Structure 1
Amino acid sequence: MPPFRSALCLLAALAVLPAQARDYSYTDAHLHYVDFFQETDGMTELLKQMDEHNIRHAMISGVPVAKKWHENEPRRPRYYAGDDAGAYWFSATDYIVAHALEKLDEKQRSRFHPFLSGFNPNDKNSDEHLRRLLETYPGMWQGIGEVFTRHDDLTALTNSEVPRANSEAMDRIYYLAAEYDLPVMIHSNITSKRERNPLYLPELEESLRDHPQVRFIWAHAGTSKEIHRHQEKLTFLFDEVERLLGLYPNLYIDLSWTMLEPYLLDSEGKPDPRWLQLVERFPDRFMIGSDVVGKFGSLGEYMSGFDVFLDALPETVAHKVAGSNFLAILPRQSQDN
C-alpha cells in the first residue's frame, strides 16, 4: 500500500475512535444521611459507595422532618407522600449526623461537609438552637440546610404554618449564617404544581437581595418531581435562573437530580445548548448532587448520570461543576483544613 494511502487510513481510523473519556472526581453537593424516618444505611455503606464511584467529598445533612406513622394507618409508609399522615420538625437529625461523623477517623471525616438542618424555619427561636449546636460541636458544621420552605405536598403535610424563604425566622438564620460564614442550602419551589409562572420566586429573591453577604445554594433551582408530574417542564425556569445569576453574585445553583431531565438533557438525552452556555458563562456557580435520602446504593448512578452534560462542557468547567465549586463556597476555615 502506498505511504500516502497508509497515512489516510490511519487518519480515518483515528477519526472514528471515541474521544477519551474524562475521569471525574465528584463532590456530592446534596446528600441526606437519613431518610424521612431518620433511618440510614449507615456510614460504612456510604463510604463504600463513595470509594467505588470516585466521590471524594460530600455535603452531608439530616432531614429536618420526620414522617409520622399514624395510629389509623395499618401499614408503615415508605415515603413522606405514602399516606395522609403528617410530618413534624425533628431537631435530633443533626445529632444523628454528628454522632456518625464523630466515629470516623480524621481522614474519613475530612471528606464530609456537614450542614445543620434540624430546625423549624417558622420559629424565631431557631437561630439560637443552631447557635447552641455550633457551640456544642465547634468546628464541625460547614453550612446550613437543606432548609425546607416551599416543598410540594410535604409543606401541606408538615405540622406548622407554611414556611417561606423570606420569613422573619429565616432572616435570623441568615444573620447567623453570615456571622459564622456558613452557606445556606434552601429548598424553595419556584412555583406550585399548577401555576405556570414563578409564583413563589419573590420569596427567595427578597432573601438574596437583603442578605448579600450570605452564599445561597438553591436546591434543584426551585424544581421538584411533583411539579414536573403536573407541568412536565417549566418554560420560564431558564430565563429566571439566568436573570438571578446575573443580579445576585451570592446565588449558587444545585443541579441535583430533578434538574438533569428535562432541563440539562433533552428528550433524546442530549445536553441542552442553552444550559451549557449558561454554565460556561457562570462557571463557578453550579454544582451537582445526588439528593439521596438515607439509602446509598444508587449514589454512583446519580452522580455519573451527569457525565453526558459534563462532557459537553469545557474540561476545566466540567471539573469545577463536578467537584470543586461546592468546596470553594465552604467557610474559609474548612477550606484551610
Structure 2
Amino acid sequence: MSISRICTIALLLFITITTAQAREYRYSDAHLHFVDFFQESDGTAKLIEAMDAGGIDHVMISGIPVAKKWHENEPKRPRYYAGDDAPVYWYSATDVIVAAAMNELDAEQRKRFHPFLSGFNPNDKNADAHIRRMLELDPGLWQGIGEVFTRHDDITALTEGDTPRANNEALARVYHLASEFDLPVMLHSNITSKRERNPLYLAELEEPLRNHPHTRFIWAHAGTSMELHRHQEKLDFLLPTVSRLLDDYPNLYIDLSWTMLRPYLLDASGKPRKAWLELVERHPTRFMLGSDVVGRFDNLAEGMQAFEPFLDALPEEVAHQVARDNFLAILPRKDQASIR
C-alpha cells in the first residue's frame, strides 16, 4: 500500500473519530422567568421535565416584576404585555410565587435552582428596604437580584409611573445592598431606542458599572431586544461597545439570551460570526446563556440547544464555560459549595 493511500485512510479515520466525538453540552440557563406577565406558570414539574430533556443542570429562576392589567374596556383578555394598550404595574407578589415554588421542591431538586428577587419598583427609594425584608423573611433562598426592568421597549411606555433608569438613586441603593449580600444583579437596560442608531442610553448602564465596582452586573441580552431588531435590524455599534465595556469594567457579565443569537452570534445562514467568537475567547469567563422564557417551558430545551453552532466554534473549554459554568461562578460564595 502506498504512503499516500495510508495517509488518506488515516485522515478519513481521524475525521470519522472526530465526528463521532461531537461535543455534548450541559447547560445553566442564566435567564428564566418562572411566570408570565399574568403571573401564571406551567409549574415546577414541567420545568424540571424540560430541564432534563435539554441537558440543563441549573437555572436562574425569577418572577416578572410587572403584571399586565386586563382593562375594564377590553372585552378579551390579552395574551401578552403588548396585546393591547392597557398598562403594566409593579407586582411584588411575583417573588412570593417563586418562593412558594421553591419550597415545594425536595432538597436535591433545590440545588438546581438559583432564585433571583425581582418584585420591586426600581423608582422607589424604599426598594432596598423591601429587598432586605425579603432576604430576612427567607434566609438563604435568594441568590441574586433581577431581572430589573429599566429601559424596556414597549414595557417602558406601558408601565404606570415614571420611567426607570439603571442609574437612578433608588437603584444605587439596591446596588449597595447587592454588594453587601454578595448578590449579582441582572439588569434589563436597552442600549438605545427603537429609532436612534447610536448607544443612546449607554450612560445609564455605564454609570453604575463605574460607581459600584464591587457589584456584579449581568447585562440582559447586552441591551438588545426583538423590538429593537424589528425597527433597526442589526446594531452595528453593539460589538465595539460591548468589547470596550468588558475591557473597562471587570464587574460586567453578558447574558447571551435569545435576542443575541441572531443577528449577532450567528449570521443569516446560521454560521457563527468570527468577531463575536473572538470577543468571547478574549473574555471567556464573562458570557453566559439564557433562554428568557416566560412561564412556559415547552421550548426551553430547543432554545438552549440553538446556541450549539456558536459553542461548537469556540475552543472546547471556553464553550463549556459559556454553556454552564460562568453563570454558576458569579453566584454568592456561600452557595458555591452546594453546586455540582
Name the TM-score class by shorter chain.
over 0.9
Counterpart Cα distance in 2 of 1:199 and 1:191: 5
Alignment deviations for residues 206-262 of structure 1 (CA, whole Å, 9 cap, x no partner)? 010000000000000000000000000000000000000000000000000000000
1:253 matched to which residue of 2?
254
Q: Which amino acid in structure 2 is aligned with residue 254 of structure 1?
A: D
2:315 matched to which residue of 1?
314
Alignment deviations for residues 66-121 of structure 1 (CA, whole Å, 9 cap, x no partner)? 00111111111111001100000000000000000001001100100000000000
Query: Within the alignment, does 1:325 sit opposite 2:304 as a pair?
Result: no
Q: Which amino acid in structure 1 is aligned with residue 12 of structure 2?
A: A
Counterpart Cα distance in 1 of 2:137 and 2:165: 28
Q: Which amino acid in structure 2 is aligned with residue 36 of structure 1?
A: F
Counterpart Cα distance in 1 of 2:54 and 2:210: 38
Counterpart Cα distance in 1 of 2:47 and 2:219: 24
1:32 matched to which residue of 2?
33
Q: CA deviation at 1:10?
A: 2.0
2:213 matched to which residue of 1?
212
1:11 matched to which residue of 2?
10
Q: CA deviation at 1:21?
A: 1.3
Counterpart Cα distance in 1 of 2:219 and 2:12: 46
The SS at the match of 1:196 is: coil
Counterpart Cα distance in 1 of 2:316 and 2:4: 34
Superposed, 1:211-290 pairs within 5 Å as 211-290=212-291
Superposed, 1:84-163 pairs within 5 Å as 84-163=85-164
Counterpart Cα distance in 2 of 1:216 and 1:132: 22
Q: CA deviation at 1:12?
A: 4.9
Q: CA deviation at 1:160?
A: 1.2
Q: CA deviation at 1:268?
A: 1.3
Tell me the TM-score normalised to structure 2 length: 0.97
User: Pairwise CA RMSD of aligned residues?
Assistant: 1.1
The SS at the match of 1:135 is: helix
Q: Which amino acid in structure 1 is aligned with residue 161 of structure 2?
A: S
Q: Which amino acid in structure 2 is aligned with residue 157 of structure 1?
A: L
Query: Within the alignment, does 1:52 sit opposite 2:53 as a pair?
Result: yes
Counterpart Cα distance in 2 of 1:4 and 1:325: 46
Counterpart Cα distance in 1 of 2:62 and 2:320: 24
Q: Which amino acid in structure 1 is aligned with residue 62 of structure 2?
A: S
Q: CA deviation at 1:9?
A: 4.8
Matched residues, percent identical?
68
Q: Extract structure 1 runs of 4+ deviating beyond 4 A.
A: 3-6
Q: Which amino acid in structure 1 is aligned with residue 295 of structure 2?
A: G
Counterpart Cα distance in 1 of 2:229 and 2:4: 55
Q: Which amino acid in structure 1 is aligned with residue 46 of structure 2?
A: E
Counterpart Cα distance in 2 of 1:16 and 1:210: 51
Counterpart Cα distance in 2 of 1:111 and 1:30: 14
The SS at the match of 1:56 is: strand
Q: Which amino acid in structure 1 is aligned with residue 326 of structure 2?
A: N
1:192 matched to which residue of 2?
193
Gaps (5+ residues) in structure 2?
none
Q: CA deviation at 1:6?
A: 5.6
Query: Within the alignment, does 1:171 sit opposite 2:172 as a pair?
Result: yes
1:201 matched to which residue of 2?
202
Superposed, 1:41-80 pairs within 5 Å as 41-80=42-81
Counterpart Cα distance in 1 of 2:39 and 2:291: 18
Alignment deviations for residues 10-57 of structure 1 (CA, whole Å, 9 cap, x no partner)? 235336546331111100000000000000000000000101111000
Q: How many residues align?
A: 336
Counterpart Cα distance in 1 of 2:110 and 2:101: 10
The SS at the match of 2:57 is: strand
Counterpart Cα distance in 1 of 2:26 and 2:12: 31
Q: Which amino acid in structure 2 is aligned with residue 173 of structure 1?
A: V
Counterpart Cα distance in 1 of 2:214 and 2:8: 59
Gaps (5+ residues) in structure 1?
none
